[in-house]
Amino acid sequence: MRELLLAVGEDPDRTGLRDTPARVARAYREMFAGLYEEPDHVLDRTFDESHQELVLVTDIPLYSCCEHHLVPFHGVAHVGYIPNSQGRVTGLSKLARLVDLYAKRPQVQERLTSQVADALMRKLQPRGAIVVIEAEHLCMAMRGIRKPGARTTTSAVRGMLQTSATSRAEAIELIRSRR
Ligand SMILES: Nc1nc2c(ncn2[C@@H]2O[C@H](COP(=O)(O)OP(=O)(O)OP(=O)(O)O)[C@@H](O)[C@H]2O)c(=O)[nH]1
């Protein structure tokens, strides 16, 4: 941190910046807490419910950090899956926990989207999964190209939500028509 401040021409001993290294370390440890957690544990607890159609949680608030600049990107995630024939479902909050865990790592939006979908497929073995993330990258808003308001949408679709156009269209329509 001291080197970083010197590199950008700041005096590390200046009043107000004296405590900065420890504070920044604490903040980044919190923002990157997902590096130290095992994603599969989030979905350890499941229960059987004879629901074999789409379960979709939309508008999960998302805060992450781009690994290129360590500058935040934020937006919402929509996460859905179709339980398998045993009807193995997970608590709805676990879908948000999964998003949170992967978001709390240095990320790129595409990888974050795929990681959530792949964890669902791995642990719940559902018939299909869909993850859509819409986010604004502050590295494109507050610096660089400076385009505030530009939003990036990424999707990861697995299983029958990938192979069945009807199932995929239903999920996408529900995401688009929310509110
Ligand atoms: N695909 C993708 N790109 C990202 C993401 N987050 C940041 N980026 C981009 O990563 C790129 C890094 O580009 P570089 O040329 O290495 O870095 P830079 O000189 O700071 O680029 P500028 O942002 O254009 O000033 C930029 O184009 C960012 O917009 C992300 O989640 N996904």
**Per-residue tens of pLDDT for the chain, all 179 residues:** 677 777 878 777 775 666 677 888 889 999 999 999 999 999 999 988 888 899 999 999 999 999 999 999 999 999 999 999 888 899 999 999 999 999 999 999 999 999 999 999 999 999 999 999 999 999 999 999 999 999 999 999 999 999 999 999 999 999 999 86
- Domain contains 22: no
Q: Decide whether any atom of ligand 1 lies within 6 Å of the 109 Cβ.
A: yes
CA dist 43 and 81 (Å) reads 13
CA dist 76 and 99 (Å) reads 10
Please tell me the predicted confidence (pLDDT) of residue 22.
Answer: 82
CATH number, domain of 80, equals 3.30.1130.10
Side-chain half-sphere exposure of 159, counting CA atoms within 13 A: 21
Q: Decide whether any atom of ligand 1 lies within 6 Å of the 137 Cβ.
A: yes
- Domain contains 166: yes
Longest CA pairwise span in the chain (Å): 63
What total of structural domains would you count in the chain? 1
Cα of 124 vs centre of ligand 1, distance in Å, is 33
Q: Which residues pair with 128 in a beta bridge?
A: 82, 159
Cα of 140 vs centre of ligand 1, distance in Å, is 8
Q: Decide whether any atom of ligand 1 lies within 6 Å of the 145 Cβ.
A: yes
Of the candidates 114, 94, 77, 108, the one whose C-alpha atom is nearest the C-alpha of residue 40 is 94
- Domain contains 15: no
Given ligand 1 and candidates 139, 142, 143, which is best to mutate, with the most ligand atoms within 8 Å of its CB?
A: 139
- Domain contains 11: no
Q: Could you list the active site residues?
A: 66-69, 109, 137, 139
Please tell me the predicted confidence (pLDDT) of residue 24.
Answer: 84
- Domain contains 42: yes
- Domain contains 27: no
Per the CB < 8 A criterion, the answer to whether 124 and 47 are in contact is no
Expressed as residue numbers, the domain containing 64 is 32-176
Of the candidates 179, 138, 174, the one whose C-alpha atom is nearest the C-alpha of residue 56 is 174
- Domain contains 132: yes
Q: At how many degrees (to 10) do helices 109-124 and 92-103 cross? A: 140
